[in-house]
A and B are shown apart, each in its own frame.
Chain A
Amino acid sequence: MRAQRPELVTDGPAPARPRWFEMAMSSDHKDVGRLYIGAALSFLVLGIVCFLMMRLQLGVPENNLIEPVTFNRLLSVGSATLIVLFALPLAFGLYTYVVPLQIGARSLAFPRLSSLSVWLYIFGGGLLYVSFIYTPPEAGFNSWPPLSDTIFIENNGVDVWIVAVGLAVLGIVLQSINLSVTIARMRAPGLAWRRLPAFTFSGAVSSWTMIIAGSTMLAALVMLEVDRHFSGVFFDAGAGGAPIYYQHLSWIFFTGCYLVFLLPAFGAISEILPVFSGKPLLSRTALLGSLAAIMPLGLLAWMQNMMSASIPIGWLYAAMLMALLLTIPIGAIFVNWIGTLAGGVLRMRAPMVFALAAISTLSFGLIGELIQSVIPVNWLLADTTASTAATGYVLVGGPILGGLAALYYWFPKMTGRTMSEGLAKPSAALIVLGAQVTFIPLFLAGVDGQQVDIFKFFKASDAINAMQLDTLNLIATIGAFVLALGIVLSLINAYIGIKGGTPAGHDPWGGETLEWFATSPPPPHNFDVVPDVRSDEPLRDIREAVRRHDASSTKPAETTEPVA
């Protein structure tokens, strides 16, 4: 029997669904971007709680506040949280929101894929935390086999880690594909690659990085799970595999993550500095070229994390060379920033303050990394808290200060309101101060030989702890709380801003890029008209045209000049 034709019912529009439901189901890049950013900041709070508990345990020597296994679980969950559930999603959330607006597109290339990607990530992250009800993972931040194999860790904690990290990384890889296609194919007329805003360009580079590094990690995770439960032999030394294969694969991923700590912050800072110093970047070509160069050099330097492994020395020299070569593009970016600031008229508003704080904090982390890029120094400092300190500076300078700078900068566009300047400046000061008070003592303790990831350290009477490890660790713990307070202040500021910030208008900062052409917040289709782009500062051109138009229209005789 044939199905009947459906009847058209015309008794009014469908009842409005609740706002949260619309938001969750939405494939609009602005909704997906806000979901990403909101979830990433929530996971940041959870990650901070994990790390503060660990710092409390390490505040005094031979502390018994937290049991060893619990400490290892906090370590495993906390590290996964800060890297995979906070830093990457915050970066890709900002890209998801801002990139289509900056390139004059009305959506992403694959809108539904972006909705899938954010839910894969949120589901994976939720799974990691739900595991505290039964067995959380305990195999350390990168779950190396053989330790992560069933012989040594029988419970399902590692499986939770594999699935949770796997889902989140899968989401990020899908979104990377989405963004790279969007940037390649959906730019406004006239918006050539060389005219791309620095943040969007860094988005393209970050996406390419994650397509490579994220897919590598997905492969490694599948192999690890096959090894655990399906008698696989990928990483089993006794059966023809080798544990070192996993080390290579996971370090390719974590090196990619490190680059995604840097690239979005570099991009955002390079947007903010010109706007708040009233002059364009010193050299756009050098900046964009440097951003692009960071990806291949950085990814090829993955073995610089494995310099103590039994790898033929030639490969280690190659990794060392790649890591050292990063000095050139990163140095060029710093010179570019300083040259952009010099001679400008600096408006010290919140985004600018956070950008400057990020530059200073990043310089500590990147130079710390440069010092241990040479093999002999790496043999001294790797796996000590000195290397933690260098990575910590980059994590605070990049995703936290750089991410907050971006958030302060684009918050008016996302919500139509501005965040309070009165809360922003103390927050930035506390974060910078907290980072220094945490990481300088950790660096010194690491030079003295304190290991990473230990659940307790021993009293200073031991020869290995010859210096005042007690004092250094206590100061670092106090610093960590100052740092956390600074971060929480900005999160509170964002919450207050959403509820009752002062209305911002469409272009509160006088930006030069296309997102400020849309209303705040933008309508679902972003732009009524997508303007032609004639230079790398399209909004300046539009303002000029409007000014010319206004000027000419007040003189009744001369209205013949056409307006763009």
Chain B
Amino acid sequence: MLGPHAAHSPNADDLNTLYWVMLAIGLVLLVAINLAVIGIVMRFRSARGRQPRRLVVRRPAQLGTAGVFAAIVVVTFVLGVIKTHDAKQVEASGPNGLQATSTLLAQRSLTLPATPASQAPLQVKACGQQWIWRYEYPDGTYSYYELVVPVDTTVILNLCSTDVVHRWWVPGLSGKFDATPGESNQTWFRADQTGDYDGASYAFSGASYAVMRTRVRVVDVPTYQAWLQQQGADIQQAQTFVQQVNGEG
């Protein structure tokens, strides 16, 4: 109830770990402050004949208090940097994953693994448009709303937008990343389990923003290859049909 979606990708795991750490720190502070205030109010409500007693704070006490908060800052900052770095570090595809389909491109916002070419990640272009996501695969095949990827395979999403600012997030697979017109942005995931993962757009994008959702369908490698072939054939067939209709019209 209190926790985020179960992580099904290494980087989502980094995010979830830090969430629990921060929640624990937060809850301790929250309980301490509120209990202190409630306790003091119960204890020191006005009573006859008592004089207010002034606390004396000496310098060591002040520095000690500041030190406690400074320690929280240092710990959370260091943990934040470590986990951010880890989540940005793209891992290689696993043994059950797809073998190389594309060459590596230089990435601005991700750190890429030094892996043999056979384990190179699958690069998919994810374009937001009002109000649907369009996914384009390395061979030029595309799909709307649903991204189909093989299990245990590193997938790099190159985010782009053709109109307004969108923000891609599928809970359990990654963090949120912007698709802004004119900017390049990437994220990645490596799903460890087949199944459907639902997500949505998280940047307000106008009238039908609430229905701009998406789904990642993770399948095994043969199913993925069959699907890709079928999708390509379907697109080809539809285009031929449209050309025929246009020719007749």
Contact = CB atoms under 8 A, between A and B. Distances in A.
Nearest to B16: A380
A463 B164 contact: no
Contacts of B207: 68-69, 72, 138
A313 B88 contact: yes
A366 B2 CA distance: 18
A375 to B, nearest CB: 4
B106 interface: no
Contact of B175 (A346, A359, A380): A380
Contacts of B116: none
Interface in B5-29: 5, 14-16, 18-19, 22-23, 25-26, 29
A282 B55 contact: yes
A127 interface: no
Interface in A353-403: 356, 359-360, 363-364, 367-368, 370-377, 379-384
B163 interface: yes
Given A376-B87, A383-B167, A455 B37 contact: no
A346 B165 contact: no
A541 interface: no
B69 A382 contact: no
B73 A346 contact: no
Given A309-B185, A328-B69, A463-B198, A377 B22 contact: yes
Given A147-B165, A338-B40, A363 B33 contact: yes
B25 to A, nearest CB: 8
Contacts of B184: 310
A452 B210 CA distance: 9
A335 interface: yes
A374 B202 contact: no
Nearest to A149: B164
B178 interface: yes
A460 interface: no
Nearest to A242: B182
B200 interface: yes
A354 to B, nearest CB: 13
A371 B26 contact: yes
Interface stretch (B78-86, B134-142, B226-234): B78-86
A380 B19 contact: yes
Contacts of A501: none
Interface in B201-237: 201-210, 213
A450 to B, nearest CB: 9
B62 A286 contact: yes
Contacts of A376: 14-15, 18-19, 80, 83-84, 87, 175
Contacts of B80: 317, 320, 324, 373-376
B183 interface: yes
Contacts of A152: 130, 163-164, 206
A179 to B, nearest CB: 30
A177 interface: no
B34 interface: yes
A508 interface: no
Contacts of B185: 309-310
B73 A324 contact: yes
A277 interface: yes
Given A152-B163, A376-B84, A467-B1, A345 B44 contact: yes
Contact of A72 (B77, B169, B206): B206
Interface residues of B, number: 86
Nearest to A451: B202
A527 interface: no
A310 B3 contact: no
Contacts of B105: none
B145 interface: no
Interface in A131-157: 138-141, 144, 146-147, 152-153
Nearest to B23: A371
A344 B52 contact: yes
Contacts of A359: 33, 37
Given A324-B77, A339-B55, A308 B50 contact: no
B194 interface: no
B200 A334 contact: no
A444 B2 contact: yes
Given A374-B83, A376-B15, 20 more contacts: A138-B206, A141-B204, A144-B165, A243-B165, A243-B180, A308-B167, A308-B177, A316-B84, A360-B37, A363-B30, A364-B30, A370-B29, A370-B76, A371-B19, A376-B18, A376-B175, A448-B5, A451-B209, A452-B204, A456-B210
28 contacts: A138-B207, A141-B204, A144-B165, A152-B163, A243-B165, A243-B180, A244-B180, A244-B183, A308-B167, A309-B178, A310-B185, A316-B84, A317-B84, A324-B77, A331-B68, A339-B57, A342-B40, A343-B54, A345-B46, A345-B52, A346-B44, A370-B26, A376-B14, A379-B176, A448-B171, A449-B199, A463-B197, A464-B171
Interface of A: 68-69, 72, 138-141, 144, 146-147, 152-153, 237-238, 242-244, 247, 277-280, 282-283, 286, 308-310, 312-313, 316-317, 320-321, 324-325, 327-328, 331-332, 334-335, 338-339, 341-348, 356, 359-360, 363-364, 367-368, 370-377, 379-384, 444, 447-449, 451-458, 462-464, 466-467
Identify the 10 closest CB pairs spanning chains A and B, nearest first: A379-B175, A237-B182, A374-B80, A464-B198, A454-B210, A310-B185, A278-B52, A383-B202, A331-B69, A140-B204
